[in-house]
Structure 1
Amino acid sequence: MSCENVQIHVEKHLKARLLHTAALFMLTLPASAASAAPAEEPAELYTRLERYHVKYSLNDDYTSAETHDWAMKVLKEKALSNAKEASISYSTSIEKAEVLSAYTIKADGRRIEAPKSNYQVVTNTGNDKDAPVYSDRTTLTVVFPEVAVGDTVGFSYKLTQTEPMFPKHYSIVQYFNRGTAYDDVKITLDYPAALAAQLDVRELTPVASTEKNGRKELSWSFTNKVPLKNKRRDYSVYDVDTLPGLAFSTFKSYADIAQAYGARATPKAAVTAEVQALADQIAKDQKTPRDTARALYDWVATNITYAGNCIGTGAVVPHDISFILKNKMGDCKDHATLLQALLAARKIESTQALINAGSSFKLAKVPVVSRVNHVINYLPAFDLFLDSTSSTTPFGMLPYSSQDKPALLVDGFKEGLKTPAAQPGSNAQTMKTRIKINDDGSVTGSVDVATKGEYALGLRNGLRSAGKETMDDMVKNVLKSMGYTGTGKFESDDPTALINTLNYKASFEFKNFTQFPGAGAFVIHPLFTSSSPVASFMLGGSDDDETLTEFSCSNGASLEEYVFTFPKKMKVLAVPDNMTVKSANVSYKASYRLKGNQLTVTREIDDRTRGNVCAPAIATEYKAFSKKVLTNLKAQVVYK
């Protein structure tokens, strides 16, 4: 498990066994490629895995070892950059890595071994002498010698785990990408015969099954000699269970994973004198338990720096709270543990919850640790999830990456529990624009924008990091990006507040909005930047590619109002037609009212999609809807 917010998408557990092939996969597919829908024409191949053999061995004491041996042929020039090196990532505290062989086989058959000078080790270090602190990951990279198109690079290594991630437990995941050419794959699993474990195998061919001296050994083969062209374009929802491969786990259920994590994490959330004093200080002016919880959450989110790497191999136990407070830094489990302790000091019950912060929205059939890579808090009294690793997300909200995900509660585990998705109406923007067109075609005007929900958070984050010079030149630079030359003034709410609304205003003047005097036309569009203009909802309208799989989605609403005042000498000949369009999840309404020398325009879109995962049929609906609305958005005001 590893703790990553954003944006994320990500199956971190694949650790060394997949990190060394990740670059290879990217040579044949887009960066985050997962399952591919069958297609009739073969895929264009840049590399070919001529051999990929891996053996997993689990000992009686739950320590383990895994040996990897692969050989990849470079087929095209584009593959060279990634093919010239391979990496192993492992946990320094509980794992050892050994390179068994690394070499290049030239097209003429010559084998060139990689010298030791081609090995590079990068180790994450901690604060002062406390290394490693927030991440104990080490990466060993080997550069292959003299690689050219037509050559084969080979790599063999062994990882030995000297201490299990969780006492008396073990789980692995291994899968294969349909877009990669595999000539010879063999997976071997060796473990104590008496061990109670779950196994899920998909699209692999059994090769052998033996039992001897209290050990069981299973092996499978797999080939994918002619990968088919992948028509999939969206990888925002990731389901490893749709791919060929296997999962093996000693955990009986996901509740057991939560319990195993909590056994060592919960004691770290004890209320010490230091914790009690801090909680009392933070909450001294709060009147209600909810206000107290908000104050404590705000303090942790804004005062404890998020140190990325979290529950992963060798890092499944939170640090001591005194250490976290001393360094004002922590990973996700540290954040969750500190917040749990502060809440307990003020008699507010909470527990930690394990989720996936990447693009996985489902739990695998077999409970494996890799399916949960992030830790947050749950407050049962308010039925509220909190993720304090996001310093920009206010109390009561979750970052998008933490929404609509299966949640494993450490205490009070509930089967099927999920974190909430944003409810329709949660994300909204209203933009009101006033434009006066002068006799020379120049413009004076203003834009008032009110946002809430995710739209407000994105703007707040951007404005927090903007310096004074950026703010002073904001209007000029925005106009310049639109092709106009002008000046203006920008004003906004204080962006540093941890709340889910933000209002701002821009006043401006610029030239060349219209070619007047003379005849012409212009498209009605926002004249200043915003989080969610109406047009942004129509991005799928120009995409004719079929959506083959589930994809990540959200809801939102945007209202744009424009009032154009024309010069008396300008005659408006035509304005766009009014329009109302509705589909199952989205509605659009536009009106254009010309009265005298003033045109009032209202455009409103309301997307009430529920949940963060949408079926392919919804993409089809969006595209059909967008194509209709785009004609209205592109319509012009004609004048002379």
Structure 2
Amino acid sequence: MTRACAFAGIDAAVARRMRVVARLTWLLAVPFAPPRVSSFAVPLITALITLLPACIAAFPTLAAADEISTTSDEPAPSTIERDVHLFEIQKDGSIEEHDDTVLRADTASGVDDIAQRYVWFNKDIEQVQLLAAETIDPDGSAHPVGPEAIRDVQEPRSAGAPSFEDGVLRTVIFPGVERGSRVHLAFRKTRARPLQAGTFAYLVEPSREPVELQRLIFDLPADVPLYADARGYVALPPVTANGRTRYEFDYRHGPYARLEAGAVGYANWGDRLMVSTVPDFASFAARYRGPASNDATRDDAAIVHLARSLTEGLTDPRAKARVLYDWMRLNIRYVALFLGETAAIPHKAADILRNRYGDCKDHVALYGALLAAVGIQSEAVLLNLGPYYSLPAVPGYGTSAINHAIIWIPELSQFADTTAGGTEFGYLPAGVMDRPVLLVDQGVLARTPATQTRERSARVQIEIDDAGTAHYAYRVEDTGYTAEIERNTFRRATRQRAQQIAASRLLQTGLHGSAQLQTDDVAITSGPFATSMQGSVPHLLWRDGTTALPALTSLSGGMASQVDTWLAEPVRTQPWACIGGEFDETLEMTLPRFARITDLPADTTLDDPMLAFSSHYVFDPTTRTLQVRRHLRAAFGHQMCTADEFAALRDDLVRIERDLDAQVIVRATGK
């Protein structure tokens, strides 16, 4: 079960990722705080989380690849036998939670799933008491967890930032877990002071293990109604007695179909439960807006001086907003804690500036203050950061609900996310595109743009010498939102790391050789960005017999990589991520005198409103030069495509894939 509010635990998919790091750190006897996001060795994870918004164009595939595949003839690794959660909520928002869970390992990999469990809590306002923690053998024998196997560790995403050190993970390591074993964990968690006064919200999203019984019970004062958006969860009739009302939801599910490669988040179409005491999004926005607006440091002299010095000489509001945006994303470190895990009140703008770090709501607070200092109005925006393209019908924080904040600049009609270090002003990271957003000042729902410019041109020049060695020169230029992502990759890379990236891109293309890389200026922060590579590939062409040469018009990352991602599944039954773009690619290959082309691929042309493709092959025997030109335009109009749309496009995609995999047949003449 995914527990998305700060008052709950950790989902099983994340737990699987934690265990890899946990084993290493326990062996090294180093204090460990396992990550809750894929983000997926702690400094590396922290760095990845910080860069996540810039790299999130690939998030749907990554999210899908993380899931365990389960089919009808393959048992699930583990099963939730019993999972009961009772929440006793008071009118002021204080809570006492009782959790009682039994998990069973059905396979060897299921042992890894259940042998280590986590309870997340906010040490400043919550207390956790373990009531039961034991391993139960297949024969029924019980083995309690000893105190040496229970450890509180710091939430790693705080990244050492003192303002965010309230998150703690209580880690429970169960002894003697084997196939057929059960683990039983029961605890009581109390929150004396609410994160948001007078409110309660909770999101449940299945962790995709079979569920024999899950029961969620919410006990509230009778005059505090609970609003629910339930899909797959069965609501029982509320029962009122002694001035309180009890709401109960039951859930059962057999083995889940696997999550298809490239599929968007399960909650877009699968089961989910969202409950909240806040009746509507306008009320939710008002509750966020009130505390967030009470910042007396918004007009702090240091903030005003910085904003005016950075924009000195500029008169255009867009130019001012761009300069301040660039300063924010390059100078204020992003602490990747999701909105709602801690109090939804930004830190003071002056403190954020002084500390040079903050989470998403802090970025909004400081950027808004800088904009205000130069006369530009802005508004906080609440939304979901992740592969989810809808919100529950009732408002609340959570993994597939509201968990992120960005900014809206009305006079520029522009959204901006300064946490995305690799996104140019005027664009958004893919993880916040094409989804509903809550405008905090207006209290209304809007939507981020569904598409944005993405163009890529590539040129490969290859000259093959008399030994069959290919000497190549490769240049690729990105335009649109991917340009700054690429530029930021090299901005943050050492020279050695940049050369490793070049070598990796050559190898991922299926070629073995040398690679040297040069880039455009990484100090600028906008506009197209180009990289160039040169090197050689020995024995690309053999002097005897016949060689099938790949008709490459790009190294890895071009249209071939894009089409391969879309075609990761032969048939789709689930919504999938379909981020479009326009690609132009060219190959010029000069053959040695001893070789002649015997077979050349045929040209291909496709023209569809969503998908257009063309390829053209020409060989000049006089100069022994082969030229291949390809063009691909994918215009889906949105980022989440349906299974029916995939079915309609599949034949065309297969034709394109066949062309991109085409080979030129070359025979050695012996001359």
Whether the TM-score (by the shorter chain) exceeds 0.5 is yes
Moved more, 533-542 or 369-378: 533-542
CA contact (8 A) 1:392 1:498 kept: no
Deviation per CA, 1:199-249: give whole Å up to 9, x if none. Answer: 33444455564322211123343433xx14515414642353754554321
Match of 1:259 among 278, 281, 286: 286
Corresponding residue for 1:492?
519
Partners of 1:339 and 1:514 lie apart in 2 by 56
Secondary structure of 1:19's partner?
Answer: coil
**Partner in structure 2 of residue 163 of structure 1:** 193
**10-19 vs 152-161, which moves further:** 10-19
Which of 306, 317, 321 is the matching residue for 1:289?
317
The answer to which of 595-604 and 506-515 deviates more is 506-515
Aligned residue in 1 for 2:117: 86
Aligned partner of 1:363 in structure 2 is 391
Aligned to 2:307: 279
Q: Distance in 1 between matches of 2:72 and 2:545?
A: 55
Post-superposition offset of 1:60:
2.4
Instruction: Determine if the alignment matches structure 1 residue 626 to structure 2 residue 650.
Output: no
Q: How many residues align?
A: 617
Cα deviation, residue 396, structure 1: 0.5
Partner-residue secondary structure (3-state), 2:99: strand
Partners of 2:288 and 2:195 in 1: CA distance? 10
SS of 2:163's partner is coil
Q: What letter corresponds to residue 90 of structure 1 in structure 2?
A: F
Tell me what 2:430 maps to.
400
2:335 to 307, 316, 326: 307
Conserved in 2, the CA contact under 8 Å of 1:541 and 1:630? no
Q: Paired residue for 1:534?
A: 559
Q: Which runs of 5+ in 2 are unaligned?
A: 19-60
Q: Deviations over 1:531-586 (max 9, x none)?
A: x4221232157655421121222111111112223334433223111110233411
**What's the counterpart of residue 117 of structure 1?**
148
Given that residues 443 and 509 in structure 1 are in contact (C-alpha distance below 8 angstroms), is that contact kept between their aligned partners in structure 2? yes
Report the identity percentage. Answer: 24
In the alignment, structure 1 residue 57 sits paired with structure 2 residue 88: yes
Shift of 1:450: 1.7
User: 1:233-274 deviations in whole A, cap 9, x for unaligned?
Assistant: 146423537545543212121122222112111233722222
* Aligned 1:477-556 pairs, distance under 5 A: 489-516=516-543, 518-526=545-553, 529=555, 532-539=557-564, 543=568, 545-556=570-581
SS of 2:319 mapped into structure 1: helix
The equivalent of 2:420 in structure 1 is 390
Deviation per residue, 1:17-60 (Å, 9 max, x gap): 45265578999xx99679x9xx9946613223222211111112
SS in 1 for 2:583: strand
Letter in 2 for 1:593: V
2:346 is aligned to: 318
C-alpha distance in structure 1 between counterparts of 2:661 and 2:232, whole Å:
49
**Structure 1: tracts of 5 or more residues without a match:** 1-9
Tell me the distance in 1 between the aligned counterparts of 2:17 and 2:502: 41
SS in 1 for 2:436: coil
1:33–1:55 CA distance, 2 compared to 1 (3 A): farther
Q: Which residue of 1 aligns with 2:489?
A: 462
8 Å CA contact 2:240–2:246 kept in 1: the answer is: yes
Q: Determine whether 1:238 maps to 2:265.
A: yes
Find the counterpart in structure 2 of residue 578 from structure 1. 603
CA gap 1:321/1:594 in 2 versus in 1, 3 angstroms: same
User: Quick one: distance in 1 between partners of 2:17 and 2:213?
Assistant: 19
Aligned-CA RMSD value: 3.1
Q: Is the 8 A contact 1:232 1:548 kept in 2?
A: no
TM-score by length of structure 1 reads 0.88
The answer as to whether partners of 2:329 and 2:419 remain within 8 angstroms in 1 is yes
CA distance in 1: counterparts of 2:495 and 2:14, whole angstroms:
41
Contact 1:437 1:565 in 2 (8 A): yes
TM-score (norm 2): 0.84
Other structure's SS at 1:252 match: coil
Q: 1:219 aligns with which of 244, 248, 255?
A: 248
Q: Does 1:186 align with 2:215?
A: yes
2:367 matched residue in structure 1: 339
Secondary structure of the corresponding residue to residue 548 of structure 2: strand
**Equivalents in 2 of 1:486, 1:234: separation in Å?**
31
Name the amino acid aligned to 1:323: D
Partners of 2:169 and 2:229 lie apart in 1 by 30
Aligned residue among 10, 14, 20 for 1:19: 10
